[in-house]
């Protein structure tokens, strides 16, 4: 990707079908590139069926999972469900996946939380299985350390060739895996990370990716967004980078972010969908 153009995603909100689909229409009307959902056992819809429901009332906006927890689903079922979402949204799906960012999810569900190395091994095998499933073969086999697949029919195939894969990564090993395998890399920052850490993370991806670096898109999720002081809710207390100021000041911040770190796919949380819309209108596609 010789020139990374700005795209904007927004996390979805709604507690009924009507509320959810209204939010999807609003996101599309305001020019957002994608409607996104995380994958937690908290007060939110399950991402895959919810995104299909949003696809029923929209025609342009894309859909992304940010990010599916690999340990929640067997990779064959994940491959099948994600391909189905892509078909049912007419090829508008971006499959985001990671090892899981909320440790309480597994504990609350009574699932074992393995050490990071084991979880990364499983994710690496999942990415290989997804590649096989979304390839040309009608049936696939896989013999790994964590997953074994015997002559599974790879149906349906996604509309998109290839299916866009997004990987969320924080530590060096995950960043290197994402650099090798992902189309979109979600660079995750911790609350205690110093400002220079972001550049260090991007440098790891660049080193590992080699010649494919220019084809990688980078995304960043912002919890704290205030445009001209709106909104001023609890988002300001969440970890991560901030976007605060006038519309033009925030646009300058994003232009600098892209110039210094190649990050062009900007995601924000649902409560700021309207406050952030002027930035979307000014920068989207530029």
pLDDT digits (tens, 9 = 90+) for 239-278: 457 899 999 999 999 999 999 999 999 999 999 999 999 9
pLDDT value at residue 233: 54
Segments of the chain scoring below 50 in pLDDT: 1-2, 234-239
pTM over 0.85: yes
pLDDT value at residue 7: 98
In a domain, 182, yes or no: yes
In a domain, 130, yes or no: yes
SS3 149: strand
In a domain, 1, yes or no: no
Strand bridging mode 148-153 / 139-143: antiparallel
In a domain, 242, yes or no: yes
In a domain, 83, yes or no: yes
pLDDT value at residue 112: 84
Distance CA 100, CA 102 (A): 6
Q: Are 187 and 202 in contact (CB under 8 A)?
A: yes
Q: How many structural domains is the chain composed of? A: 1
pLDDT value at residue 2: 47
pLDDT value at residue 272: 96
Stated as kind and residue range, the H or E segment containing 14 is none
User: Tokens 């090892």 sit at which residue?
Assistant: 99
In a domain, 2, yes or no: no
The DSSP string of 66-125 is S-EEGGGS-HHHHHHHHHHHHHHTTS-EEEEEES-S-HHHHHHTT-----HHHHHHHHHH
CATH number of the domain bearing residue 86: 3.20.20.30
pLDDT value at residue 238: 47
Nearest-5° Cα angle at 258, 31 to 183: 75
Structural domain harbouring 54: 7-283
C-alpha separations of 8 from 128, 151, 275 in Å? 28, 39, 13
């Amino acid at each position: 990707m010789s020139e990374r153009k700005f795209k904007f995603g927004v996390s979805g909100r709604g507690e009924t079908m009507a509320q959810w689909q209204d939010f999807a229409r609003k996101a599309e009307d305001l020019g957002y590139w994608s409607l996104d959902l995380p994958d937690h056992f908290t007060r939110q819809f399950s991402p895959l069926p919810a995104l299909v429901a949003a696809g029923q009332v929209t025609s342009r906006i894309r859909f992304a999972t940010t990010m599916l927890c690999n340990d929640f689903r067997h990779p064959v079922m994940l491959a099948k469900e994600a391909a189905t979402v892509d078909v049912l949204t007419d090829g508008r799906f971006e499959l985001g996946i990671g090892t899981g960012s909320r440790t309480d999810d597994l504990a609350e569900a009574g699932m074992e939380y393995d050490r990071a190395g084991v979880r990364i091994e499983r994710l690496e095998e999942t990415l290989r299985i997804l590649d096989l499933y979304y390839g040309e073969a009608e049936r696939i086999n896989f013999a790994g350390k964590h997953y074994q697949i015997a002559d599974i029919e790879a149906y349906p195939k996604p509309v998109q060739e290839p299916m866009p894969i997004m990987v969320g990564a924080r530590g060096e090993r995950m960043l290197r895996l994402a650099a090798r395998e992902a189309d979109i890399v979600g660079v995750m920052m911790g609350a205690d990370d110093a400002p220079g850490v972001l550049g260090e993370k991007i440098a790891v991806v660049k080193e590992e990716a080699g010649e494919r670096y220019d084809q990688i898109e980078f995304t960043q999720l912002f919890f704290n967004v205030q445009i001209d002081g709106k909104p001023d809710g609890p988002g300001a207390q969440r970890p991560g980078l901030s976007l605060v100021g006038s519309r033009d000041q925030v646009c300058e911040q994003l232009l600098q972010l892209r110039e210094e770190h190649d990050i062009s796919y900007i995601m924000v949380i649902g409560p700021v969908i309207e406050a952030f819309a002027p930035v979307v209108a000014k920068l989207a596609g530029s």
